Amino acid sequence: MNVLVIGGVAAGTKTAAKLKRQDQSAEITIITKDKDISYAGCGLPYYVGGVIEEKEELIVNTPQKYSALTGVKVLTGIEAVGLDSDKKVVKAKNLSTDAEETYTYDKLIIATGASPAIIPIDGISLPGVFKMRTPNDAIGVRDYAETNHVRKAVVVGAGFIGLEVAENLKLRGIQVTVIDFASQILPNILDPEMAAYGKKHLLKEGIRVITGTKAEAVLGEGKVTGLKTSAGTFPCEMVIMAAGIRPNTAFLQDTGIEMFKGTILTDGHMQTNLPDVYAAGDCAMVTNRITGSRQWSPMGSSANMEGRTLAQIMTGDEKEYKGVLGTGVVKLPNLNCGRTGLTEEQAKAAGYDVITALSVTDDKAHYYPDAAYFITKLIADKTTHKLLGVQVFGPGAVDKMVDVAVVGLNMGAVLEDYENADFAYAPPFSTAIHPFVQAVYILLNKINGDMVSMTPAEYAEGKAEGYTVLDVGLTPAIRGAQYINLGAVKGELEGIGKDEKLLLVCTKGKRAYFLQNRLRHFGYTNTVALEGGVFFSDVKVKNTQTEISADEVTRVKGLGFLRDKTTADKFNGRVITRNGKITADETRTIAEAAELYGSGEVTMTSRLTMEIQGVPFDNIEPLREYLMQAGLETGGTGSKVRPVVSCKGTTCQYGLTDTFALSEEIHERFYHGYSSVKLPHKFKIAVGGCPNNCVKPDLNDIGIIGQRIPQVDLEKCKGCKVCQVTESCPIGIAKMEDGKIVIDDDACNHCGRCIGKCPFSVVEDYTDGYRIYIGGRWGKKASQGRYLDKVFTDKEEALDTIEKAILLFREQGNTGERFGDTIARLGFENVQEQLLKDDLLSRKTENLAAQKHLKGGATC
């Protein structure tokens, strides 16, 4: 049997290898236009982020190794361009020689996969625009980002690949914006309320996400400088196109093969309508395992399984490929997301009597270290109780929740099949009742009428209008709601009628259900529990004049909102503006936000952040979300690294350093990079472009001042009676001694004003650098910092020194003391010695993992 396989990645290589094992007499040839085969396509984003360190790790098999291992012949650089199924001939082009070649077959397997969809817009071919499909794409992105010091990138597409790329670019310290034409992230993968939760999480993690937005043009001359979209122009140095994929099937036009939107139609045996022609992988349309309807599910996992099953079918096994569930899992920053089966919308479209429940459960024993949570949405048929789908969020192993569902979906399980499932339990791994089983119990309670609930989607649609909100959390958490102490409910609730519409809300949903059960016993007939509680939904009570608790004041202070003491519920929100430099679009957004959510007034703080005045408490979260959509954030309080303050640098006549660029690097590396790191107290950083000291670097915990160190060529000195160098020195350090110019390096402040002043070029050359002050402070206990003896001429070394100072403060500082106090206690020489060595960096992981300074000393 002569078998020809077109395509050499997942489906093609898997089919060929299994087929050869099934039938050693088969002559099998793979032709592929790429030079690589069997590469780790799903691992490409992680090479970009450096999680996968070496590019060689992306190649699972070389053609030589694969051929030796399997006995399959592999021809690379051969592109199929036509098919004559009557003659059983494939026409191809040799990409090395441009020669046309033909390949005959007894059986043909088309496994050509898919390629990224390239949006036809201007500028798409500019350097800095990338796709993400092959190892060369990932290698190109990483190399370009490193070589060009990329600081901002836009990812077009909020699907699995787009979000994975976004996370990994962020790992590189790159500020990322994700746009998608769809109205939500992960379209057709998650239901809208789950997608909204994921989007809000990404925004909180510093990844800007803008949905419902169309890419219109890539901007730049010679390289990318921005992306024009229907939502505005986003400055960037890199654009990643991840807006879906298209099957590689253009060469099959006019061959008679049946296709739908470019995908090859196959039956349960992966066979096409053409005799002896099969298809598998991302180019093939298969079926949905639940509904039986046609479904395109281009995933590496299903491609491999399709290939294996096809090989068995072709060698006579009684096999059938029963279809896909659309299973997928994606890693987001500090949150994972998995799904399988039908979404709620898809289940309704398929004609099911759909019922859903959303639950928040522990992912392992709550007392075990690193215990976290699962947010699980189950979709089922209300009539038959058949499980239809699941969507899960959580910091941990969401894949195990999804896989539990996959087994049930494959077997046509109903919810009751899970009731007493004997899943593995030990505190490090799970809860005594498995989290998936807990979710099933909640949905069964809802189906059976034991629990009457409202889904987060229904709450977001306004279904709670007219309900009285009862807060049944462990402690009061919903402003304006009546708090109910669950343990104290022994009878009727005072002042609440038994037929009153009551929305019961707690943290995650369990206590609301318990209260509902108790109230039902006491005759209350109209109670509804909110699924997922305030953990998932942002619950608001309208028209409330309730006093804001001290805990809430503290909480929003951590978000950058300081209470205006002259009002009952107004706050002033600090908008982080990257050292006082913002774009015109950002300025407009801040002004709009002030009008929409505040008093319409904006002030500038002493540290060059902007403050929106008069924001009512209930407007804080809407304001933050409005700002986050524009890539802006609030904050700048607490015992942690504070926003950087910077002078105008080289835009000032005396500026020696591009302080805006430097301080933005510091902002990303330390304000963002250390945003979750607790310190003994606040830690302020200032960047000055020259010794004029405009932003007082020496009165901050750490300050950097640009330096220009003069290089004196005494052989050129003429001993002029009136020396232009001494005349230009603003601090009188340059002097004439014995007929020669002398500049005391220890006393010189390296302002650079003497450079180029001598007509005989005595002081023409110079070295740029940075002087670092440590331990300064302004306020009630003002003290001037002291500079390190070394003048740093390497920027990276200076940045490393800042990091070492932060690490030293965290490791050796006492909670509540400022950095200057730590230096005074340890001794300046001791601290300087540590900052000029690398021991602190070598202990970084252990240092940051330590549970220290949980309640720091900063009060604002």
Bridge-based pairing of strands 373-381 and 328-332 is unpaired
> What is the set of active-site residues?
42
Pairing of the two strands 387-394 and 335-341? antiparallel
Residue 575 burial (CB count, 10 A): 26
Residue with tokens 């304000």: 671
DSSP-derived secondary structure letter, 669: I
Comparing CA positions, the residue from 613, 601, 528 lying closest to residue 573 is 613
Beta-bridge partners for 575: 610, 634
One-letter amino acid at 708 equals R
| Total Cβ atoms within 10 A of residue 834 | 18
Of 206, 200, 199, the residue nearest 171 (C-alpha):
206
Residue 456 CB contacts under 8 Å (≥ 6 apart), including other chains: 193, 358, 530, 531, 532, 536, 537
Q: Whats the size of the chain, residue-wise? A: 860
Tokens read off for 424: 């593995």
d(CA 418, CA 416): 5
Task: Give the number of C-alpha atoms closer than 13 A to the C-alpha of residue 613, restricted to the C-beta side.
Answer: 10
CA gap 394, 365 in Å, rounded: 15
**CA-CA distances (angstroms) from residue 279 to 61, 314, 659?**
22, 12, 58
CA 19, chain centre distance (Å): 41
- b/e map 80-117, b = 16+ CB within 10 Å: bebbebeebbbebbeeeeeeebebebebbbbbbbbebe
By CB atoms closer than 10 A (0-12, 13-18, 19+), residue 405 is buried
User: How many angstroms separate the CA atoms of 650 and 652, rounded?
Assistant: 5
CB 60 within 8 A of CB 9: no
Return the half-sphere exposure (C-beta side, CA atoms, 13 A cut-off) of residue 386. 16
